[in-house]
A and B are shown apart, each in its own frame.
Chain A
Amino acid sequence: MIGGVIHKFGDHVDTDVILPGRYLVLREPQELAKHCLEGLDPTFTARVKPGDFVVAGRNFGSGSSREHAPVALKAVGVGCIVAASFARIFYRNAINIGLPVITCPDFARDAKNGASAQIDMASGRIEYQGHVYHGEGLPSAIRAIVDAGGLVPYVQQRLSTLA
């Protein structure tokens, strides 16, 4: 269980507002972190504390496939993103780089900006204001990538057994 403050956003938060295109010349996570969510809320990087949660509505991370977006969210210290649904490429990218993502429409609806919640990443269990929510589980094939710590160590293991 980790605890954190909720930063609440609406539906269809796209990767252009998470990390605007003009910063795509950058590749260092700490550099990208400085511009995280700048297109939507330029005060976010000043407010967010390590381990905080981003909670959003439908289709979080829609649009461009830029992996810079989840990298920026991870580097700025976001501990977990909970959304009613995720755009497909963003969801894969987050899992691949080891940024926890949980799909939970009920919590996404109830969560209030600035309130605190407790989340158990492994089980997807969320405790919030006396209620317990359960995020959707992952298929076993994808669980294996998460358990390995992301796609890089996962492929590393595979390549070393092939060698």
Chain B
Amino acid sequence: MPLTMTEKIFAAHAKEKSVRAGEIVTVRPDVVMLNDISGPFAFEPFRTMGATKVFDPDRVVLVADHFSPAKDVQSAEAIRILRDFGREQGIVHYYDSGNGGIEHAVLAEIGKVYPGALVFGADSHTCTAGALNASGIGFGSTDLAAALALGELWLRVPDAIRVDLEGSQAPYITGKDVILELIRRIGSDGALYAALEFGGPGLQALNVDERFAVANMAVEGGAETCIMEADDQVFAYAAAHGAPSGHAVAADAGATYRARQRIDLSALEPVVAVPPSPANGVPVSELKGTRVDQVYIGNCSNGTLTDLRQAASILRGRRVAPGVRLIVVPATHAIYRAAMREGLLDVISEAGASISVSTCGACFGGHMGILAKGETAVATTNRNFRGRMGDPEARVFLANAWVAAAAAVAGEIVHPGDVTAERKAVA
């Protein structure tokens, strides 16, 4: 029987012989990741379960990212619990300020994500791993306590939705626009319990950073996981980050899909998601003139070097509009350093942005840029739910880094081409 990419990854990690969509199987992950919120919440059930040792310390990664650097005593305690668990269990993959950053970006950077890998994370955006032809699955803390204890968990093999990308990008179109367009079409539960599987010639037009942005937001369509076809860019990324070459999976001709979508990259206009749902995408031009108080460029979907380059290209020689706060958060320490070497941080800071250490920060309303009542933000983050970034009556518009930087300069939502005045006539 022909199989989807996800069925193949599940089959390679399952105890059962038959692994087909809809079946419940027990799978053993290649790596398990927890953070400073989900980790401390998992260690107590882990002990109550009667477990004393994690299944394999080398397959466990701990990342202090949500409240790191600690914003108060309670978050400092949580980070200490995470760090102490790592020490007690002999877990060498512990990351914090100065060597880490946002977990999903860190996990790929340290070579724990590679073609064919099965990744478990106590965080919903673990699906980011799909960019590298892996399957990443998000869980809560008690599930991952069980995974730490047993090295396995039950899962229902998801059916798949196939998304074929075509064409090459028009100016100012990124992976963010691809995923916001897809979620606009299918809705925020359109992929509930499914795997989003991406392929097609248009995938080549997106670099790995942009693919992370696409895979990251699969969960905003309700998906269990996401996977993209492997190509030379994926193999080069894995090799450059010291990952094993893995076992790339490709979908068989004739595999069964719940649904299919086609997205033509050349036909897209930058998409902005109107609060309170990532599924509320509209073309950027429809929101022209929406005043902004804050612009936030960062998060596990769009805090990559590619995003910082895009932002810097808009900000070079320009100023953040009076009354607007621009906060820029490189997703990891390594990205921060690369952006510094390239001179991007200088350009961004000269324009009037404040550059933050790598952290989840304000993305989830934690710290470092919370919104007041009635404020409006444009953010490259992945969620614009009510109250996500602060007060329930603040508004967050989701957009790519070009659009975000342009909004910072203009003080309102605009097409980035209007700021650079290089906008090509659209045929």
**A interface residues with partner B (beta carbon < 8 Å):** 12, 14, 16-17, 20-22, 24-27, 39-40, 58-59, 62-68, 70, 85, 87-89, 92-93, 96-97, 139, 141-142, 150-152, 155-156, 158-160, 163
- Are A64's CB and B48's CB within 8 A? no
CB under 8 Å from chain A, chain B span 14-50: 24, 37-38, 40-41, 45, 48-50
In the complex, the answer to whether B24 meets A141 with C-beta atoms within 8 Å is yes
Q: Map CB proximity to A onto B385-397 as digits: 1 under 8 Å, 0 otherwise.
A: 1111000100000
Q: How far is the CA of A72 from the CA of B188 in the complex (A)?
A: 24
Q: How far is the CB of B351 from chain A (nearest CB, A)?
A: 28
Q: Given A17-B392, A63-B385, A142-B24, list of 4 further CB < 8 A pairs?
A: A24-B366, A27-B40, A151-B142, A155-B49
User: Is B138 among interface residues, defined by CB-CB distance under 8 A?
Assistant: yes
A21-B364, A152-B49, A159-B50 are contacts. A16–B383 as well, Cβ < 8 Å? yes
- Whether B150 is near chain A, meaning CB under 8 Å from some CB there, is yes
Q: Report the separation of the CA atoms of residues A24 and B219 in the bound assembly, to the nearest whole angstrom.
A: 20
Q: For chains A and B in complex, what number of residue pairs have CB atoms within 8 angstroms?
A: 139
Q: Is the CB of B142 within 8 A of A16?
A: no
Instruction: Tell me the complex Cα distance, A92–B424, Å.
Output: 48
Closest to B37 in A: A24
A89 and B146 contact, CB distance less than 8 A: no
The residues of A that contact B365 with a CB separation of less than 8 Å are 16, 20-22
Contacts A17-B387, A21-B365, A155-B149 hold; do A65 and B138 have CB atoms under 8 A apart? yes
Q: Are A89 and B139 in touch, CB under 8 angstroms?
A: yes
Q: Is B67 an interface residue, CB under 8 A from the partner?
A: yes
Q: Is the CB of A85 within 8 A of B49?
A: no
Judging by beta carbons under 8 Å apart, are B192 and A59 in contact? yes
B193 at the interface (CB under 8 A from A): yes
Q: Which residues of A contact B66 (CB under 8 A)?
A: 24
> Taking the complex as formed, is B123 at the interface, i.e. its CB lies under 8 A from any CB of chain A?
yes
Residue among A16, A68, A88 making CB contact with B222, cutoff 8 Å: A88
Instruction: Identify which of residues 399-416 in chain B touch chain A, using a CB-to-CB cut-off of 8 Å.
Output: none
